[in-house]
Chain A
């Protein structure tokens, strides 16, 4: 993976905020995936 030369610089607070949001979004996606797997397994 190469570095992205166009990635804008973030302040530390922006990065923290962004990463927290990302983590929340991933957790939600994982919950959805878990739910779907459970549905499929009980079908």
Chain B
């Protein structure tokens, strides 16, 4: 059996990326042996259709279950059509998510957890077009919006019925942590560039 987890980086100690279609990479895990394989998500910077393309890629890997933070309708339908179970609302370390799944603590969704274009956010245009090009030649211009609207409750993108308040808080904290890391990375790069004046 193979489980695909949207990940912020390779390895079982990486965090679950709250996005499915535009996550940095996937970790494919055999829950019996806990052997894992990292898979770059080449669709993270796609102009459109990232959810479907990513879902097709994952289904093509023979994955039976996807663990992620959120999954939009296109990706959800594609995965479901391929017989892949989708479990959203997952956060924390990948190994903990796998253990929770094995313990029966995670249940498959009956519907997508977010609306279309979740995870594209305000940075999408610039991110796609230019990439951040930060260090080591890594193109990093992926969308990183949270889908949160300005008003109370969830804004465009999030359909909170799938999450309890505690789950949403946990997911938001996880997102904030990831964004904080990205911000630190950007600030480091900015400092390096500014010193190079």
Q: Considering only CB atoms and an 8 Å cut-off, how many residues of chain A contact the other chain?
A: 34
Write out, one digit per residue, whether chain B residues 161-195 have a CB within 8 A of any chain A CB (1) or not (0).
00001001100110110011011001101100110
Residues of chain A at the chain B interface (Cβ within 8 Å): 1-4, 6-10, 12, 14-16, 18-23, 25-30, 32-34, 36-37, 39-41, 43
Chain B: number of interface residues, binned into ranges = 35 or more
B48 at the interface (CB under 8 A from A): no
18 A-B pairs with CB atoms under 8 Å apart are A1-B138, A2-B40, A2-B138, A7-B133, A15-B193, A22-B127, A22-B132, A23-B186, A25-B122, A29-B122, A29-B145, A29-B148, A30-B183, A33-B172, A36-B168, A37-B169, A40-B169, A40-B172
Q: Is B110 an interface residue (CB 8 A)?
A: no
- Return the 8 tightest CB-CB contacts between A and B, nearest first: A4-B139, A7-B131, A7-B139, A3-B137, A32-B148, A26-B183, A33-B176, A40-B165
Beta-carbon contact of A33 and B126 below 8 Å: no
Whether the Cβ atoms of A8 and B130 lie closer than 8 Å is: yes
- The verdict on A20 contacting B122 (CB below 8 Å), with A15-B133, A37-B169 known, is no
0 or 1 for each of B136-151: is its CB under 8 Å from A? (1 = yes)? 1111110011101110
User: Which residues does B use to contact A, with CB under 8 Å?
Assistant: 24-25, 40, 45, 121-123, 126-127, 129-134, 136-141, 144-146, 148-150, 152-154, 165, 168-169, 172-173, 175-176, 179-180, 182-183, 186-187, 189-190, 193-194, 196
Known: A25-B122, A27-B183. A33 touches B130 (CB 8 A): no
